[in-house]
Amino acid sequence: MKILLAEDDAEIAKFVIAGMEENGHSVDHVTDGRDALSYLLYNECDVAVLDRMMPGMDGLSALKAMRAAGKSLPVLMLTALGDVDSRVEGLQSGADDYLAKPFHFSELMARVMSLTRRRTDHAAQTELVVYDLTLDLLTRTARRQDQNIELQAKEFAMLEILMRNSGRVVTRTMLLEKVWNFNFDPNTSVVETHMSLLRSKVDKPFDTALIHTIRNAGYSMHGPR
């Protein structure tokens, strides 16, 4: 699952990002309300977690502008303002849920997952399918030819990116940025190592390979052509 975190407190952001990535999710992080709004208007993600108080533009204003533009993305609002009136204002402005600081990460993650399950937008995907491989984003399970495939968190994240971009090239740099939040390092072999493990589970036991290496470009996922 791809999550936008808009939070200007560095310690909170570090804590939340680490927890989400440990659970196999991809996180894009911004620290300014205007950047949050720009991201929400021009990028795709599954859910947004917005801090209410941010520089540039507060989270509530960014939320209102996003809703005015017709975006139905699920939004969880974070705030140090825990009074009832503040929560009501946030919900009336278009937030789907509200969580007061300080919070436990387990509750934050439970609320985020609940929002993705409740989403009724037809554009939302809860299941990805490429040929005979199915990836369930809610239960975080993979199946091919009625066989369950056990995946580690990083493997699941890589497979999700490949399947979301089925038929297109996914570069090594994209995987480093989205799965590990690494800037490009030509010396690291972490992508190749995890890709080999992923292929041993997704492709090797079956007759048809779905993950293809595109020389000097990256990887592409597709069925027989």
Query: Does residue 15 sit in the same domain as residue 32?
Result: yes
Average model confidence (pLDDT) across the chain: 87
Instruction: Inform me whether the pLDDT recorded for 85 exceeds 80.
Output: no
For 123, the token pair is: 């554009």
Which residues are paired to 97 by β-bridges?
76
Query: Does residue 13 sit in the same domain as residue 107?
Result: yes
Instruction: Inform me whether the pLDDT recorded for 76 exceeds 90.
Output: yes
pLDDT at 207: 92
Instruction: Inform me whether the pLDDT recorded for 122 exceeds 60.
Output: no
Query: Does residue 6 sit in the same domain as residue 72?
Result: yes
Query: Does residue 114 sit in the same domain as residue 22?
Result: yes
Query: Does residue 190 sit in the same domain as residue 133?
Result: yes
Spatial distance between the Cα atoms of 53 and 60, rounded to a whole number of angstroms: 8
pLDDT at 90: 66
Query: Does residue 46 sit in the same domain as residue 145?
Result: no
The residue with greater pLDDT, 211 or 60, is 211
Query: Does residue 136 sit in the same domain as residue 169?
Result: yes
Query: Does residue 40 sit in the same domain as residue 112?
Result: yes
Query: Does residue 81 sit in the same domain as residue 134?
Result: no
Q: What is the CATH number of the domain that holds 7?
A: 3.40.50.2300
pLDDT tens-digit series, residues 142-188: 999 989 999 998 899 999 999 988 888 988 888 888 888 766 566 77
Instruction: Inform me whether the pLDDT recorded for 120 exceeds 70.
Output: no
Tell me how many domains the chain contains. 2
Query: Does residue 184 sit in the same domain as residue 104?
Result: no
Q: What is the mean pLDDT of residues 100-124?
A: 77
Range of the structural domain that residue 153 is part of: 127-221
Query: Does residue 137 sit in the same domain as residue 174?
Result: yes
Q: What is the CATH number of the domain that holds 154?
A: 1.10.10.10
Instruction: Inform me whether the pLDDT recorded for 203 exceeds 60.
Output: yes
pLDDT at 86: 65
Point out the domain boundary residue: 85, 118, 151.
118
Amino acid at 44: E
pLDDT at 70: 82
Query: Does residue 191 sit in the same domain as residue 154?
Result: yes
Instruction: Inform me whether the pLDDT recorded for 125 exceeds 70.
Output: no
